[in-house]
Amino acid sequence: MSEVVLLQVIGLCVVGLGVVILLFIQARFLRVVGFVIIVLGIFALIALGVPQMASLPPAEEKFDVASIKTATDMAAIGQKIFFSKGQCALCHSIGPSESARCPDLKGIGAKLTREFIYESLTQPQAYIYLDFRHEGPPKEYPAKMPQINKNPIGLSNNEILSVIAFLQQMSGEPITVSPSEITQPAGQPQKVAALIPIVHGQ
Amino acid sequence: MKNHGGHPGLIASLFREQGSLIAGLSLLIALLGFPLAGLAQDAASASAAVAYRDIPQVGGSRNIIWVVAQQHLLLAGFVLGVPIFAWVCEIVGWKSGEKRYDKLAKEFTKLLTSAYATTALFGGILLFLLIGFYPKLMTYLTDIFFPSFVVYCALFLLETVTLYLYWYGWEAMQGGGMKVLHLFLGFLLNVFAFFIMIVPNSWATFQASPVVIAEGSALARAWAATWNPTWWPVNIHRLIANVVLGGFICGAYAGIRYLSATTAEERDHYDWMGYVGNFIGVFGMLPLPFAGYWLMREIYQYNQQMGITLMGGFLSWLFILQAVLIGALFLGANYYFWLGITHRIEGAEAKYRKPIMAMLVILLLCLGVWMTPHSLVASLEEARKMGGTHHPLLGVFGVMSAKMTVVNLMILVTFMSFVIYWRAGKEETATWAKVAKAVMGGVLGLAAIVVIILGVWGYFVPAIVRINYFSVAQVLIVLFVMLTITPLTALLLRSAKTTTEMVWGRMPPRAGYALVMNAVMVILLMTLMGYARSSSRVHWHVYGVMRDSSQYAYSPALGYAAVFMSLNTFVFCLLVSFIFWVATMGDKGKSAEVSGKGKMPAGAVPAMAGGSQKLDGK
């Protein structure tokens, strides 16, 4: 018996107890107690009837540098991060979606350079878009995107590179991120020289 | 107060004395806890080694904290809501000269002393448990908020002194200028209570939307952390919610006493008290969704991810449950109004049957739309047939534009119920009455139409336009209706002639149960939104600053959480019942001495317990 089924059985018993109290007990206060537990039991049963999703802390992707041989290996890790720790799928979709609140990322790897993607992830406000959806001069339309390398998401440089590899791969583009850019274990310098962010003008 | 009735009176007297003692001891415990929290800072090196402690044998640290914190918060809401309620009643009694309002205010202030002690007791327990279970987090929070801990202690002292003066000085401060002084004490009580609420709010909201500055004095750091983005939205939301809680709990108390009433006098009194409680609860409930909307906007502004986690992420189904609870509350509050119109005012049933039916249909339709989920629970086969998880027809109702529209319509309907009740049994005599009624009808009709138009239009504009302009416009329109019609009705009724006197004590038993249900709904809502607020931080103690690395760094699914919410609600109801029982022991002793005059026939008593329909038909 799963936890949900067990709780549903308990909920039904509680409602049943309330009904029994109302049917057979005349003491006023106890009748009110019976009524209250019926209401609470029904509430719990409704809550147990909706989709049960727990929010688990994101799993840390282990970077075993020795096991990453190809750019495809990086893209595979990037895909996991995209849907877990990176929380990208919370707002973005890959392909049209009714529930997506932020830009569709299908083909994004073909539209943007890796430098621009890196900058969009780490300095979302470096390039300010303009909003033309009204009369008069366009207004600045800053992105709501969080800085992905800072808390609460806090992706490491290796993880960001992997996500870029995934975005390029799913766009059908050649992956320009190389496994050689993966940072070595602690104590060794990071190889991020190739990813100096480019600050765009407005 | 003098005791009567021997044994019960003696017990009541002992409890009253012990109530003060318990209050003092509990406060002492709570106040001593803060220096301990400060000492924990000095022992940082020791506590750094232990980030968490646990007692898995009794359900685990997180569940224990959940229950204790929820009880403390609900009791605090009650203790802060009741003085507002009592003070308003006292002012009404003072201005109108109706003694029953003063009696009602006193009856509820009497509860405060024992409720205050229980709240402080749970606060003390919570503090010790937090220090024990989360030493690292508490050290961090103490480091930031120590100056506000001191302020909190000072506020508690002021509140306690004021409460004692307010309660024990009630009879002594009845005449002339002394009454004004007593009212001023009531005002002070509420001012201190407000600050007692907002100081801990800053600690809780800091965890969700932290502002951390590295430089500056301890005071500057504490102030920056206090004035975080969600602090004021939560302050306002909780202030209004406490009024609602106070009102509906008063209503539930009256409902239970009404069901148990043995004399006509008691029935009259508790029927009237139920009306006042429901009225204040509804009065607070109408602006509450606006405060909630502001809070959500601020959360989105602060961190879009957190907003989406709440509204579109794993917590999205929580808002369907919220719709169920608020919908039930709206129905319960309106139902009670409608029962009042049809049972208390002779001849009103025939006159208002059609409008009541129309309002019921609108409320049910609105509730149906509000409860429509954005994504349906569907099997793979069903999803394929629908072309996704969105139903081709009902999916239209699952979005924010539809929900904002129906919420505003439900508020308008509830407001109309209240106005109808207010005007029932009275005939306007003012020369401008026809014009005023036409204006009110026009304002209401026009507002409803504009709210619907904006709701439909909202589907065709970008989300940012809908959120920033359309939703805000809908809220302002409804507020405008309330702010226009309320004073106009008051003016109109000032010169009105009463055609049918309102008769108290004739409500059927289901009215008492409706009042109880309203209170349960409000408490459940508070537990539900507490879970939402806490879960929106996901795996962070302090969002983005201090990660939860314990084994409990996850938010449980809604079903499991709802079981805890129900348990917490039940425990709180029992606690409040106990407080009411203790506080009214002396009254029962007194009433036992009163002669049997006005006592109802023996056969009529079971009717209130639901056994006989004889009285129900009255």
**B308 has a chain A CB within 8 A of its CB:** yes
Give the count of beta carbons closer than 10 Å to the beta carbon of residue B529: 18
For residue B35, name the pLDDT band (cuts at 50, 70, 90).
Answer: very low
- Higher confidence at residue A121 or residue A127? A121
Closest residue in B to A50 (Cα–Cα): B317
Closest CA to A33 of B260, B223, B614: B260
Spell out the domain ranges in chain B: 8-345+502-591, 346-378+388-501
Residues 407-466 in B contacting A (C-alpha not used; CB under 8 Å): 462-463, 465
In this prediction, what percent of chain B has a pLDDT beyond 70?
A: 83
For residue B394, name the pLDDT band (cuts at 50, 70, 90).
Answer: low
Alpha helices in B303-390 (DSSP H): 304-311, 318-344, 348-370, 380-386
Mean pLDDT of A12-25: 95
What does DSSP assign to residue A55?
B
Mean pLDDT of B364-379: 78
What are the φ/ψ torsions at residue A98 (nearest 5 degrees)? -75, -25
B563 vs A52: CB contact, 8 Å cut-off?
Answer: no
Mean pLDDT of B562-591: 87
Mean pLDDT of B134-153: 94
Mean pLDDT of A17-27: 94
Q: Are A41 and A14 a contacting pair, CB within 8 Å?
A: yes
Q: What SS3 class is residue B277?
A: helix
Question: Which chain B positions have a beta carbon within 8 Å of A152's beta carbon?
Answer: 303, 305, 538, 540, 543-544
- CB-based contacts of B143: which residues, under 8 Å, 6+ apart? B41
DSSP string, B35-91: HHHHHHHHTHHHHHH-S----GGGT-HHHHHHHHHHHHHHHHHHHHHHHHHHHHHHH
**Tens digit of pLDDT for each residue in B478-517?**
999 999 999 999 998 888 888 888 889 999 999 999 999 9
**Tell me, what's the pLDDT at B466?**
80
**Tell me, what's the pLDDT at B592?**
58
**A3 has a chain B CB within 8 A of its CB:** yes
**Tell me, what's the pLDDT at A69?**
85
B427 burial (CB, 10 Å; 0-12 / 13-18 / 19+) is exposed
Mean pLDDT of B253-278: 91
Closest residue in B to A99 (Cα–Cα): B312
Comparing B69-73, B75-79, B301-305, B322-326, the range with the smallest average pLDDT is B301-305
In this prediction, what percent of chain A has a pLDDT beyond 90?
A: 37
What gap in Å lies between CA B28 and CA B16, rounded to an integer? 18
Mean pLDDT of chain B, nearest integer: 83
Q: Is the pLDDT of residue B124 over 90?
A: yes
**Tell me, what's the pLDDT at B24?**
53
Mean pLDDT of B318-324: 89
B548 vs A57: CB contact, 8 Å cut-off?
Answer: yes
For residue B391, name the pLDDT band (cuts at 50, 70, 90).
Answer: low
| Residue entry with tokens 């329909």 | B613
Q: Are B299 and B310 a contacting pair, CB within 8 Å?
A: yes
Question: Which chain A positions have a beta carbon within 8 Å of B566's beta carbon?
Answer: 40-41, 43-44
**Tell me, what's the pLDDT at B316?**
80
For residue B10, name the pLDDT band (cuts at 50, 70, 90).
Answer: very low
A99 vs B374: CB contact, 8 Å cut-off?
Answer: yes
CA B373 to chain centre: 25
Q: What SS3 class is residue B547?
A: strand
- Considering only CB atoms, A90 lies closest to which of B309, B320, B463, namely B309
What gap in Å lies between CA B88 and CA B243, rounded to an integer? 11
**B516 has a chain A CB within 8 A of its CB:** yes
Report strand pairing: A139-141 vs B426-427: unpaired
**A4 has a chain B CB within 8 A of its CB:** yes
What gap in Å lies between CA B423 and CA B341, rounded to an integer? 10
Q: Are B410 and B371 a contacting pair, CB within 8 Å?
A: no
**A124 has a chain B CB within 8 A of its CB:** no
Mean pLDDT of B301-328: 84
**Tens digit of pLDDT for each residue in A45-66?**
999 998 888 888 877 666 677 7
**Tens digit of pLDDT for each residue in B411-457?**
999 999 988 888 888 888 888 888 998 999 999 999 999 999 999 99
The pair of three-digit structure tokens given for residue B608, joined into one six-digit string: 């209130």
Q: What SS3 class is residue B611?
A: coil
The pair of three-digit structure tokens given for residue A21, joined into one six-digit string: 């109290």
**Tens digit of pLDDT for each residue in A141-150?**
777 788 888 8
Q: Which of B266-270, B292-296, B398-402 is predicted most confidently?
A: B266-270
**Tell me, what's the pLDDT at B382?**
63
- Higher confidence at residue A144 or residue B60? B60
Comparing B24-38, B256-270, B564-578, B603-617, the range with the smallest average pLDDT is B603-617
**A151 has a chain B CB within 8 A of its CB:** yes
Mean pLDDT of A104-121: 91
